[in-house]
């Protein structure tokens, strides 16, 4: 029930905000995003009809009154008034804003239904980015040498590409590599499928140890999704901590 009532509103949020929601608030994000996208399209259509009816009627009446008062010069016809009014309506910022949200809703529906890429709305994403710049927050995916596979601001084209790539790959267990150098202990995970909510600098818990996701990049098949995590000296369980409990037998490598 939450998925269809509260979920469509929460699906408008950037992925970083959704990831910080309480774990008890379970939402099927794919279904919620599809409903949210259709609702956005419907709202844009209704807004467009109301805006067209209101603006055209008002502007035509004003232009007709001005023409009757002789303010528009002699010989002005009703067709010229209607054409000029329609041109103003077509180029008005409100018209373009409504068109944008209709297109955004369509992209969000396609992204959720076909690529399972949950996209928030652009205005909130810009707010999140501005706050990140103002308060010096580390940008998502910083340090990654490849494209981000699945995030709120990820390109739908990249998501479709990921879908095509993974469709031909076999379902194989993750490959783990434990590395250590002067910077600390690292866990490198190579997976055959993208981990949607794994966005730097999220905290991941694996076998009672806590790791901070540093970066993710692309690698060769059959495990093209590479995640690099730094082991933390201590960690505290929390709602935003990602629990890594892979199924199947892991392929482990220790270096």
Q: Residue 16 has what pLDDT?
A: 77
Q: Are 56 and 84 in contact (CB under 8 A)?
A: no
Token look-up 């990921």 returns: 162
Q: Residue 187 has what pLDDT?
A: 92
Q: Residue 216 has what pLDDT?
A: 86
237 φ/ψ angles, rounded to the nearest 5 degrees: -60, 140
Report how far residue 230's alpha carbon sits from residue 213's, in angstroms, rounded to the nearest whole number.
6
Q: Residue 249 has what pLDDT?
A: 63
Q: Residue 42 has what pLDDT?
A: 96
Q: Residue 27 has what pLDDT?
A: 79
Residue 201 burial by Cβ neighbours in a 10 Å radius (0-12, 13-18, 19+): middle
Query: Which residue, among 230, 196, 137, has the nearest Cα to 18 in the 3D structure?
Result: 196
Q: Is the pTM value of this prediction over 0.85?
A: no
Q: Residue 154 has what pLDDT?
A: 44
Count of residues making up the chain: 255
Q: Residue 160 has what pLDDT?
A: 62
Q: Residue 73 has what pLDDT?
A: 66
Domain map of the chain by residue range? Answer: 2-114, 167-254
Report how far residue 71's alpha carbon sits from residue 186's, in angstroms, rounded to the nearest whole number.
76
Query: Which residue, among 231, 132, 152, has the nearest Cα to 197 in the 3D structure?
Result: 152
Looking at residue 220, what DSSP letter applies? -
The DSSP line for 164-187 is HHHHTS-----EEEEEEETTEEEE
pLDDT in tens, the chain (255 residues): 777 888 889 889 888 788 777 755 677 888 889 999 999 999 999 999 999 999 988 888 888 887 777 666 677 777 877 888 889 899 999 999 999 999 999 999 998 888 778 888 999 988 888 887 876 654 444 444 333 333 433 455 566 666 666 777 888 899 999 988 888 899 999 998 888 888 888 899 998 899 999 988 888 888 888 999 999 987 777 778 899 988 776 766 665
């Amino acid at each position: 029930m939450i998925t269809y009532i509260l979920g469509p509103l929460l699906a408008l949020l950037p992925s970083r905000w959704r990831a910080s929601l309480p774990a008890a608030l379970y939402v099927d994000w794919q279904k919620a995003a599809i409903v949210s996208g259709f609702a956005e399209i419907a709202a844009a259509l209704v807004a467009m009809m109301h805006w067209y009816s209101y603006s055209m009627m008002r502007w035509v009446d004003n232009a007709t009154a001005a023409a009757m008062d002789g303010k528009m010069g002699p010989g002005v016809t009703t067709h010229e008034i209607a054409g000029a009014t329609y041109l103003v309506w077509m180029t008005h910022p409100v018209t373009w804003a409504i068109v944008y949200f209709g297109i955004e809703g369509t992209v969000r529906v396609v992204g959720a239904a076909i690529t399972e890429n949950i996209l928030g709305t652009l205005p909130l994403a810009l707010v999140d980015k501005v706050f990140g710049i103002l308060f010096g927050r580390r940008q998502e995916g910083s340090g990654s040498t490849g494209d981000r596979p699945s995030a709120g601001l990820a390109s739908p084209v990249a998501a479709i590409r990921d879908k095509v790539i993974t469709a031909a790959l076999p379902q194989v267990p993750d490959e783990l590599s434990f590395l250590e150098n002067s910077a600390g202990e690292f866990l490198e995970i190579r997976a055959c499928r993208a981990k949607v909510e794994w966005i730097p600098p999220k905290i991941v818990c694996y076998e009672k140890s806590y790791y901070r996701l540093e970066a993710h990049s692309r690698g060769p098949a059959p495990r093209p999704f590479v995640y690099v995590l730094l082991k933390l000296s201590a960690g505290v369980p929390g709602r935003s901590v990602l629990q890594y409990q892979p199924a199947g037998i892991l392929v482990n490598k220790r270096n």
